[in-house]
Amino acid sequence: MKQKRDIKKVLLIAGAERNKGRFFIDEVTDFFREAGKEYSLYRVNGKPSGQLNKPKDLNGVDLVVSLGGDGTLLYCARILAGKNIPILAVNLGDFGFITEISKAEWKDAYYKYIENRLEISSRMMLEVCVQRKGKPLSCYLGLNDGVIGTGGISRIIRLKVYITGTYVGRYRADGVIVATPTGSTAYSVAAGGPILHPEMEALILNPICPFTLSNRPIVFPGKEIMEIEVEEPQRTDVILSIDGQDSFRLLPGDRIVFKKSDKKTFIIQSDKRNFYEVLRTKLNWAGEPNA
């Protein structure tokens, strides 16, 4: 028989408050108070961003409960990077591809977790660093993707791509997406990219509306390092975005380095459905009622 997990301190992170989630968040806090657990509630005001405030004390936290949509979970992933703290992601949002545990299931999932009956999914994270004139300027972590795109009127931008020192090609496109397996079901799939199992260790390079139709998505091993150079000149502003939450304005000549981070995100898995069932229902695949 598996040993029970000892949960003493819980951090609740609630996304931007919606009327439909307000009473549920109160219900969750009441549950942990009545259970005699040390807990704290942190509300993410507005659009979550690792550049904004974060909980002051993560020391001793045994479990984080994410209450919101995928954006709240992405925020949790970044502030917990390197902490090895599992996340119980409860979906209060609209779509919830990563946050697969529903409000009706959360308590059952919690009990099964402390009884060591649920597995923890280890997810690869993406490290993105901007270099300007050969010097490091700014670095970010993401769970889903890093996107280089236009910052204003939609115009083609020009980028050169290198993978582990090998020149891959020149991209003229609305931008490019570099996605993790977890992020393969987000912006990348909407732009025609492939779907990867979230526990794989690989990266996707996916051009957005490329001018040359032969530019296709590429999947490459997580051990590879990608460098993207912003060509000179550009006819529009160029922006780097991480998980749709952090952003950085790029200049011609900048180099952006994408690689697998040595940090992971740990998400408690539901036993109600697996990844392939989530794909079928969320994407309304052929044969289903809304296909």
**179: closest CA among 210, 215, 203, 150?**
203
Q: How far is CA 228 from CA 170, 256, 281, in A?
A: 10, 5, 35
Which amino acids are annotated catalytic?
70
250, 148 contact by CB (below 8 A): yes
**22: closest CA among 103, 120, 133?**
103
143 burial via Cβ count (<10 Å: 0-12, 13-18, 19+)? buried
**86: closest CA among 65, 101, 107?**
65
Cβ count near 173 (within 10 Å): 21
123, 144 contact by CB (below 8 A): no
The residues near 193 (Cβ < 8 Å, ≥ 6 apart) are: 177, 179, 184, 204, 206, 217
Tokens at 87, concatenated: 């996340």
Q: How far is CA 258 from CA 54, 146, 159, 288, in A?
A: 25, 8, 14, 37
